Amino acid sequence: MLEQTLDCLVETADVTRPLHAVRPGGLAVFLDSLPQAQHRFLRQLDFSAAAQELLFLPGGDGVAGAVLGLGEDRSPAAFGNLAFRLPEGAPWQLQPGDYDPDLATLGYCLGAYRYIALKAAKRGPAHLLAPGQAASRSAASATWMVRDLVNTPANLLGPVELAEFAVSVGRRYGAGGEIVGGEALDVAYPTVAAVGRGSARPPRVVIIRWTGSAARADAPLVSLCGKGVCFDTGGYDLKPSSGMLRMKKDMGGAATVLGLARMIMDADLPVRLVVRVGCVENSVSGTAMRPLDVIRTRSGMTVEVGNTDAEGRLVLCDLLAEACEESPSLLLDCATLTGAARVALGPDLPAMFCNDDGWAEALLRNGLERHDPLWRLPLWPAYDRWLDSSVADLNNVSTKPYAGAIVAALFLNRFVASGIAWVHFDVYAWNDQTTPGRPEGGEAYAMRASFGAIAQRLRMLANAE
């Protein structure tokens, strides 16, 4: 099973239990609104409305309600630790308060996720009554899908399985899907083929095309590209066991762009959408690419393989080159590309590279507004020469030990045509530990921010007409 159904929300219920969400500044007024017995109960337990503080209100038949402290947290995480703390039974219903209901629903859903495909669940999440709220449901469902994909073991999710799943996502919304493999892939995507040549599981490239119901023939073209390395050994430049341990998540970029595409299609945005995913496994064998091999890319440029563990940029470069042939309004790629980005920014901040200040500002702003933060790093031109090769047009790595995330982005930039707005996300795609709304395991970073920026740009275009 590659995807769970969002099962923590209900649309209707005959009986519900109240869930109050309170901030310290509104605590006195809230307490005065309660029956005296419940007022005294909360006072005696010193309820202070601190973030994540949860107390249950007693009733004649047991738990009559619950009170959640929000502190000053206005993010979805304020509600992200509830689903498995609330008792099951009658659904819970959030009462009006000083919070955003959509963010509350999203946070509740994000915290209700568990990867249970391969083990028996001890209990399910408590149900929350949340009629409507299509945007929150869409974002939560897309996030669950991304997490499920990243969490699935590599023996159950290889290049073929990922490609087939990607096509199935598009088909839900009437999108056309194409899977390219074999000799056709060797010709059209030689770098993807080179990365996948060492594995017994053949590489694939997926192309999904969808048009919104209100999109005209000249509607903006949004092109998404994702790195789908289902497992990365490093190739001949073999990773140590510690570095290989989580490499099932190396398709996190592909999962994220599929989640973003799902949100775009679910909202029926008035765009033309094209998604390209390179599905591949980087393995070691007698047919695997070797250090110092030279590959001729789709664009005609030759690349010397300075390191076989820098395979993600090889998977993406042919996809970007093909995407540019269609002159998209926005070209966006996502990849678990470098450890250097994590050294610089840690696991929670995706590194963003962008050649268009307008798009960069919109993405950063939406990242803050949607509690999906990003951090922009520069496409520093002085480092571009670090990719020089004596035998090819460029090397896939630099011999210098600095600025690894920037150098990787500069490599990709070589394959982006002049004049095309392009953004590249270098993401971790993983939570190292469980925090409210973010259980340990796969994660969808930069997805909500990207959707918000795209939707916002479309509204601006519509208002300008």
Q: Which residues are catalytic?
A: 239, 313
232-250 residues labelled b (16+ CB within 10 A) or e (exposed): bbbbbbeeeeeeeebbbbb
How far is Cα 164 from Cα 343, in angstroms, rounded to an integer? 34
Residues 6+ apart with CB under 8 A from 371: 75, 76, 77, 103, 448
d(CA 228, CA 209): 18
Beta bridge partners of 442: 430
**Token pair of 444 as six digits:** 């969808």
Q: How far apart are the first and last CA of the chain?
A: 45
Q: Which two tokens stand for residue 63?
A: 């738990």
Beta strands in 271-362 (DSSP E): 272-282, 294-296, 302-304, 330-335, 351-354
DSSP 403-450: -HHHHHHHHHHTTSPTT--EEEEE---EESS-BTTB-SEE---SHHHH
- Looking only at the bridges linking them, the beta strands covering 92-94 and 204-211 are unpaired
Burial grade of 323 (CB within 10 A; 0-12, 13-18, 19 or more)? buried
Let me know the angle formed at the C-alpha of 425 by 423 and 431, rounded to the nearest 5 degrees.
160
